[in-house]
Amino acid sequence: LKCGSSAARVNRLGRNNRHGPFALQRAKHQQAKGFSAQSGRGTMGGASSFIAMLSIAAFLGLAWTATKLSQLAKVSSIVLEITTGVVFGPSVLGLVAPEYAECQYKRHVMCDAPADLSERVANGKNIGEGLTMIASMGYCPKDHYFHDEAGHSEGTHAEAGHDDAHVANADAGHDAAHAAAEHGEAHGMAAHDGEAAHAAHRRLSGGGGDYATYEECLVKSCESFVSHECQLTPDFFTLIGHAGVALMIFESGMHFDFEKAAQVGPRACCVAVIGTILPLVSGAILTVIFGRPFMPDGVSVGTALAPTSVGIALRLLSEAKVLQHDFGQAIITAAFVDDILSLVLFNVLFSLTGEFNVMATVVNPIIGIAFMAVAMVGAVKFWPKFINEVLLPKVRNVEGSKSSRKDEVLFFLMVVVLLTYATTTFFLGTH
């Protein structure tokens, strides 16, 4: 039996809440792509995910090929790997479907404002599912933006009273009309002052921005909501990328030489300070030159340019086989210090977006930095003695085992310490 037309299926999904908040968008997307219940493409059980798996395998194979070609050419593989991702990703050739490289909220929650948004809001018409959802979540209460309607109403009545007074002047006498006119002008001026105060008033909305109008609040809060949700539940490749970056930073810590870091520490700290201040200042200046305000745009751009990628620096130094040299350790040390300084800048920037939260902006970062300092001291003083003198002597290797029992214990301890440190610094806001 046929399920009916695509339009009928769209309407049924839109009325049925059991399909989730994105059912209507998914149904429209399927209708636009020509979805059919009989589109099994020859497979016995109907539609299959084999093509999707084959595409991902081909994409990963191309990335691996780019790495090998770079090694044969004796150059860094980073550039060719990035180029492969851009060319064969969803934005160019589309070897990977957008569903795997784009957050579901970004695909389904539409924050685009209609051209006549103000008119639709004023007349109570449909403003789109994404903006309607934001309006229902309380991010932009209307009373904070339309609280002067009563003033306008009073001003209108006052003006009407003023006109009535002039009309009544012929019959009721000049004194009565003059009194009514003065009364109307007073109300009219009050309404005008209320309007001016409302225009000057800019509400800090729950969406995390300073907005002048209700319509701007809806759009910006919707974009902020989508960005926040995509950070909590990223798409497949973004999640893998985050895991890869975390492992690269973990690997950089494994190659950190504390003895050489002590030798190059002062010079590395100077490099880190300069490497933090120069991007901050130059980014802010360029932003102002391009016509954007210094606060918050200029500071935001400068802060975004300040951090150094420890993972990329480690990768380049490892490929060049200079990581254990003095200048290699100086670069890694400077990158670590630079990230700590950038963390302070980020917390200062976040404190400028709204109410100053002492706990989140000052106390937690200080505790997090102190925790990292204690962890570094522990890595030099405590863990080597504990591992070599206490833990490993109690571990016995099993004869005939493919892997050493001591290596397994060390690997397990590394993972436990990694997760403990990462979780602690995450909740302190310094992760």
Cα 380 to chain centroid, rounded: 35
Per DSSP, the chain holds a count of helices (H) and strands (E) of 20, 2
Burial 380-392, CB ≥16 within 10 A → b, else e: eeeeeeeeeeeee
Contact 252, 332 (CB under 8 A): yes
Which of 28, 29, 3, 35 is CA-nearest to residue 14?
Answer: 28
pLDDT at 57: 92
What percentage of the chain has pLDDT greater than the value 70? 72
pLDDT at 45: 52
- In sequence order, what are the residues at sequence separation of 6 or more whose Cβ sits closer than 8 angstroms to the Cβ of residue 202? 210, 211, 212
Residue 285 pLDDT > 90: yes
The DSSP bridge partners found for residue 204 are 210
pLDDT at 251: 77
- In sequence order, what are the residues at sequence separation of 6 or more whose Cβ sits closer than 8 angstroms to the Cβ of residue 76? 70, 315, 316, 319
pLDDT at 187: 41
First to last CA, the chain: 55
Look up residue 13 and give its two tokens.
Answer: 């999904």
Distances (CA, A) of 234 to 45, 240, 314, 365: 30, 9, 26, 25
Q: How far apart are the C-alpha atoms of 199 and 152, rounded to whole Å?
A: 13
**350-363 average pLDDT score:** 71
pLDDT at 354: 60
Summarize pLDDT for 157-189 with one digit per residue, the tens. Answer: 444 444 443 434 434 444 443 444 444 444 444
Summarize pLDDT for 224-250 with one digit per residue, the tens. Answer: 899 989 988 898 888 888 888 888 778
With bands split at pLDDT 50, 70 and 90, how would you rate the model's confidence at 26?
A: very low
